[in-house]
Amino acid sequence: MKSIRTLEPLARALLRVVAGFTFSLHGMQKVFGLFGGLNGGTAPLGSLPGVAGLLELAGGLLLILGLFTSPVAFILCGEMAVAYFRAHFPHGFLPIVNHGELAVLYCFIFLYFSAAGAGALSLDALRGKEST
């Protein structure tokens, strides 16, 4: 009987794709005004929310593809840490109180991918830039 651990490459790929997809939706919201937009509109691209939206959109799509995963995930981890401490932390210490759970989860998921890489089923693996 095979160990469930043999499913790790598939689980990592699935987590990467789902996290990248849901993260890119936040970018689409800010950049294109989709899904209700940012307060009903789009964020000016030169503003902090606009830059965040570009990072979320481009970074999310790169994660879905598994392309440049480690450096992209490291940048996105930093973005989420900044988002947490700028937007959520001033409203309380605990994420459950300050509504920062999603920022914290994304931050640590991206930290994981920055260290672990994209894994199998990624363009990084096809380029030979990933040890699977």
Q: What are phi and psi of 38, to 5 degrees?
A: -95, 105
The pTM of this model reads: 0.92
pLDDT digits (tens, 9 = 90+) for 40-92: 899 999 999 999 999 999 999 999 999 999 999 999 999 999 999 999 999 99
Instruction: Give me the DSSP letters along 68-88.
Output: SHHHHHHHHHHHHHHHIIIII
Between CA 16 and CA 21 the distance in angstroms is 8
Residue 131 binned pLDDT confidence (cut-offs 50, 70, 90): low
**Would you say residue 39 has pLDDT above 90?**
no
Query: How high is the pLDDT of residue 4?
Result: 87
Mean pLDDT of the region 26-30:
97
